[in-house]
């Protein structure tokens, strides 16, 4: 199913409090959607199949965006693999099955670039899926996300469902997790640079060697891509969502310091893992479909820094949340 989504369609955003879900709610509301359906974790436990089924039965969403996940950076993934595997499998199974059982017209399942093998060709095309071993530091999370793609494709093959899967690259933006233990690199460096600048500290610590390369997509661009895909894309398998451009962690750290106005040194901590050496999406499929990102890294960093400055809960996010 493709074509314009009626602006009054009942659209359930699972995970609306997260980085991705909150951007989707902002963007879809701005695009005129009037029936966005959301539930907090206290209101609806996505790990509970009966609760999820009852919710779909009573609210009858027509469109679903699955943006709920247990997420975290390299350290959190390596420390809590059981939580990452179990919770993400359960969320995907419960929501995707309920979407089928209750006749949802279109479902967009969101994954991550870490589904691709550690040594996938760079940039990584969608065809690299399941062609080699995964990066060990986030294997549990990746396997849950691969299972979710397979679920969407299985319901499509067996039941003719319009369930699609988009794989965003590393995301950042307003609403990110700034907790230094569990966050991803970009918010961590942003916070460190702000705190070092304010304290007049001589250096900030950057984990690893600084040589790994990563691609970063501003989360509002992802929200825009989600609407585009719901309206224009209906095929099995993952579709990558990224910018097609990457930077080294050192380059990222330098740009963050520049944007924040911090002039100290970078101290690389070799005791922390580098993770996968490079992670860049091949976005040919999406570009051909007609969408590309518009927010460059420096602009996105400045917007995220402005949000972080104002955020009431600045830095207090205790752990990554579902
Ligand atoms: P990944 O993309 O799944 O590897 O997750 P991260 O965003 O956590 O890490 C990306 C890279 O940034 C890794 O090489 C990290 O070692 C490096 N890095 C440098 N400084 C930091 C930091 O303060 N926090 C995090 N999470 N990563 C950092």
Annotated domain spans of the chain:
11-176+217-244+279-294
Token duo for residue 248: 């080294």
Closest CA relative to residue 213, chosen from 239, 236, 185: 185
Task: Please indicate whether residue 274, judged by its CB atom, sits closer than 6 Å to ligand 1.
Answer: yes
Token duo for residue 322: 């579902």
Task: Please indicate whether residue 138, judged by its CB atom, sits closer than 6 Å to ligand 1.
Answer: yes
Of the candidate ranges 21-35, 176-190, 221-235, the one whose mean pLDDT is the lowest = 176-190
Q: Is 83 helix (H, G, I), strand (E, B) or coil?
A: helix
Closest CA relative to residue 52, chosen from 120, 101, 107: 101
* Segment 285-314 mean pLDDT: 92
Token duo for residue 45: 């436990």
| Contacting residues for 258 by C-beta, under 8 A, at least 6 apart | none
Q: Ligand 1 centroid to 12 CA: how many Å?
A: 31
Task: Check if the beta carbon of residue 134 is closer than 8 Å to that of residue 209.
Answer: no
- Spot the catalytic one: 80, 141, 155, 262: 141
Task: Please indicate whether residue 212, judged by its CB atom, sits closer than 6 Å to ligand 1.
Answer: yes
pLDDT of residue 302: 98
pLDDT of residue 312: 58
Q: What is the DSSP string of 89-116?
A: HHHHHHHHHHHHHTT-SEEEEE--GGGS
Token duo for residue 220: 């509002």
Q: Ligand 1 centroid to 234 CA: how many Å?
A: 33
pLDDT digits 0-9 by tens, 240-281: 999 999 999 999 999 999 999 999 999 999 999 998 888 899
For the chain, the first-to-last Cα distance in angstroms comes to 29
The protein residue with its alpha carbon nearest to ligand 1, atom 24, reads 185
pLDDT of residue 72: 84
* Segment 313-319 mean pLDDT: 45
Say if residue 313's pLDDT is above 80. no
Can you tell me the distance from the alpha carbon of 259 to that of 131, in angstroms, rounded to the nearest whole number?
39
Q: Ligand 1 centroid to 122 CA: how many Å?
A: 19
Token duo for residue 34: 């009037």
Q: 319 or 259: whose pLDDT is higher?
A: 259
Instruction: Give the H or E element holding residue 171.
Output: strand 170-172
* Ramachandran angles phi, psi of 63, nearest 5°: -130, 140
* CATH class of the domain defined by 11-176+217-244+279-294: alpha beta
Task: Please indicate whether residue 184, judged by its CB atom, sits closer than 6 Å to ligand 1.
Answer: yes
Based on the residue annotation, tell me whether 141 is a catalytic residue of this protein: yes
Say if residue 2's pLDDT is above 70. yes
The protein residue with its alpha carbon nearest to ligand 1, atom 25, reads 185
Query: pLDDT averaged over the chain?
Result: 94
Q: 172 or 181: whose pLDDT is higher?
A: 172
For a pLDDT cut of 70, what percent of the chain falls above it? Answer: 97
Q: Ligand 1 centroid to 275 CA: how many Å?
A: 8
* pTM score: 0.93
* Segment 140-155 mean pLDDT: 98
Q: How many CA atoms lie within 13 A of 276 on its CB side?
A: 26
């Amino acid at each position: 199913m493709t074509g314009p989504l009626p602006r009054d369609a009942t659209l359930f955003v699972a995970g609306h409090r997260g980085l991705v879900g909150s951007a989707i709610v902002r963007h879809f509301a701005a695009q005129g959607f009037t029936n966005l359906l959301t539930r907090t974790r206290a209101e609806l436990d996505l790990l509970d199949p009966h609760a999820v089924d009852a919710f779909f039965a009573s609210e009858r969403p027509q469109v679903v965006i699955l943006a709920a996940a247990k997420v975290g950076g390299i350290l959190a993934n390596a420390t809590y693999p059981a939580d990452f595997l179990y919770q993400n499998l359960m969320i995907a199974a419960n929501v995707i099955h309920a979407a089928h059982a209750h006749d949802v017209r279109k479902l967009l399942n969101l994954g991550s670039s870490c589904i691709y093998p550690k040594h996938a060709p760079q940039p990584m095309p969608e065809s690299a899926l399941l062609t080699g071993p995964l990066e060990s530091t986030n294997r549990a999370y990746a396997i849950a996300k691969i299972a979710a793609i397979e679920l969407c494709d299985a319901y499509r093959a067996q039941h003719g469902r319009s369930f699609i899967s988009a794989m965003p690259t590393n995301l950042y933006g307003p609403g990110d997790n700034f907790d230094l233990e569990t966050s991803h690199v970009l918010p961590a460096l942003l916070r460190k640079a702000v705190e070092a600048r304010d304290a007049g500290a001589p250096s900030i610590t950057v984990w690893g060697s600084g040589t790994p390369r990563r691609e970063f997509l501003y989360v509002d661009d992802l929200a825009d891509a989600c609407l585009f895909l719901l309206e224009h894309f209906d095929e099995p398998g993952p579709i990558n969502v990224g910018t097609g451009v990457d930077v080294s962690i050192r380059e990222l750290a330098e740009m963050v310091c520049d944007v924040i106005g911090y002039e100290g040194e970078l101290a690389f901590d070799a005791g922390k893992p580098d993770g996968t050496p490079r992670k860049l999406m091949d976005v040919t499929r999406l570009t051909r479909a007609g969408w590309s990102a518009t927010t460059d890294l420096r602009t996105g960093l400045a917007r995220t820094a402005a949000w972080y400055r104002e955020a009431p809960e600045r830095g207090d996010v205790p752990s990554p949340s579902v």
